Amino acid sequence: MLKVAFLTTDNRENSRQYELEMPFFGTAPQALLEGFSATPNLEVHVISCTQRQMLSPTKLSNNIWFHSLYVPKLGWLRSGYSGCVLAVRRKLRDIKPDIVHGQGTERECAISAVFSGYPSVVTLHGVMNALAPLHKARFGSYLRCAALIERLALKQCTGIICISPYVMNMMEQYKARKWLVPNAIQNFFFKSPPSSRPFNKVPLIINVGVISERKRQVELLEVFQALANNPTPFKVMFVGKCDPNNIYAATFQSRLKKLRKQQHFAFNHIEFLDSARFVELYDDASLMVHFSSEESFGLTFAEALARNLPLIASDVGAARNICEGISSARVLPPGDFPALKSALCNFLAHQKPGSQPFYNSSDIIASRYHPKVIASRHLEIYREVLSDSKAS
């Protein structure tokens, strides 16, 4: 029986929803836990720190326990998460795990895993040392502090799990052993068979992601506007948080509002969808466009491909790896908007009633990103780490 301590953020803490009795996690940790719950001979202890004491279940599934650790505010970022580190160490004395897995360097998880006193691996979901200069983070800001703590954690950990080749390349400076393992996609994207694309409706093109410079939604609006006179009418749906205090997001809202006043533009934007409605959206859509300027550390378009939704994406980060071998996915040079416009024209030209081909990307995506597949790969890594630790 392998015993794993799994350190991740309880999003009740992030969203300050302390009244909820059930913890919830990021999509990547949640998907991996779904894979672990179906794995025999495995005992997982999920540990999350919180600034408020909350009611929580003792177990999340038959082989997954949950521990919510109260840590006063002083023990968080302002002290380098020292309070979280100590609280986790105390809990681990009772659990006695074989290995500790820290999910992400954004907060306390990685640094708590590294200083747990046990063999540790860290998964990088976002690289703080890449985000800090990108956002021109000031000295003493959250991002600058997170980047500093990240460097310390990565220098001390036993191993680093990289979710994409982009992340793997950024980790070359660290001596720890490294593995390339993508995040898993949650089970609900695989539960029901993907439906065939609707052929008797106006084609719906979707874009999913936070409204930001990196996701290029303003530029996409310009491309879609340029296709206004296309013989095939179409609709566009943007899904993602939009901060009105962000200049780029405010520009997007302003331009979208102007376009929607013009009757021939069926453009819409919503900020949030729950899991079930995301599946419905993917099944109802005709195409996803994801044209980021750089790696955005997500599996949004892999989830879409799991529902057999065609895709046009920019060639950044893990896009080419995800789309490899999938005929319904097209990868274009980042920033090549003329090529994007041409690809959209070609796609729309084939969107006539009864003419759509059947796409079958779901089987390929399941073989690469199903929770059971990714969980199995993690178990291999845990055993490698433990084998190396015993040998040394």
CATH architecture for residues 188-368: 3-Layer(aba) Sandwich (3.40)
Coil, strand or helix at 65: strand
Predicted confidence band at 157 (pLDDT cuts at 50, 70, 90)? very high
User: Looking at the predicted structure, is the pLDDT value of residue 196 above 80?
Assistant: no
Q: Please indicate whether residue 274 or residue 346 has the higher confidence score (pLDDT).
A: 346
- What does the radius of gyration of the chain's CA atoms come to, in whole angstroms? 22
Place of tokens 């913890």: 23
Burial 53-89, CB ≥16 within 10 A → b, else e: ebebeeebeebbbbbbbebeeebbeeebbbbbbebbe
Asked whether residue 392 carries a pLDDT value surpassing 90, the answer given is no
In this predicted structure, the answer to whether residue 134 has a pLDDT above a threshold of 80 is: no
- Strands of the sheet with 2-7, listed across from one edge: 59-61, 64-70, 42-50, 2-7, 99-103, 120-124, 159-162, 177-180
Q: Is residue 353 very low, low, confident or very high in pLDDT (cuts 50, 70, 90)?
A: low
Q: Tokens for 322?
A: 């995800």
Q: Are 51 and 71 within 8 A, CB to CB?
A: yes
Beta strands in 228-367 (DSSP E): 235-239, 266-270, 287-290, 311-314, 329-332
Note the pLDDT of residue 276. Answer: 79
Q: Which two tokens stand for residue 53?
A: 């004491």
AA letter at 294: E
Range name among 260-269, 293-302, 344-353, 358-367 with the lowest pLDDT average = 293-302
pLDDT at residue 308 tops 60:
yes
- Out of 106-115, 129-138, 196-205, least confident range: 196-205
Query: How much is the average pLDDT of 20-29?
Result: 94
Range 267-282 average pLDDT: 88
> Is residue 101 within 8 Å of 7, Cβ to Cβ?
yes
Helix (H, G, I), strand (E, B) or coil at 121: strand
65: left (phi over 0), alpha (psi -120 to 50) or beta: beta
- Calculate mean pLDDT across residues 308-315: 93
**Looking at residue 265, what is its pLDDT?**
72
SS3 353: coil
Check if the beta carbon of residue 339 is closer than 8 Å to that of residue 159. no
For the chain, what percent of residues have pLDDT higher than 70?
95
The domain segmentation of the chain, as residue ranges, is 2-184+370-391, 188-368
Closest by Cα among 140, 141, 143, 101 to 124: 101
pLDDT band with cut points at 50, 70 and 90 for residue 307: very high
| Tokens at 169, concatenated | 């390349």
Instruction: pLDDT band for 263, please (50, 70, 90 cuts).
Output: low
> Does pLDDT of 186 surpass 80?
yes
125 CB neighbour count, 10 Å cutoff: 19
First CA to last CA distance, the chain: 22
What average pLDDT does the chain have? 91
The CATH code of domain 2-184+370-391 reads 3.40.50.2000
For residue 184, count other CB atoms closer than 10 A to its CB. Answer: 27
CATH fold match for the domains 2-184+370-391 and 188-368: yes
| Helix, strand, or coil (residue 53) | coil
Comparing 57-66, 86-95, 271-280, 305-314, the range with the smallest average pLDDT is 271-280
pTM of the model: 0.88
Mean pLDDT value across residues 150-170: 93
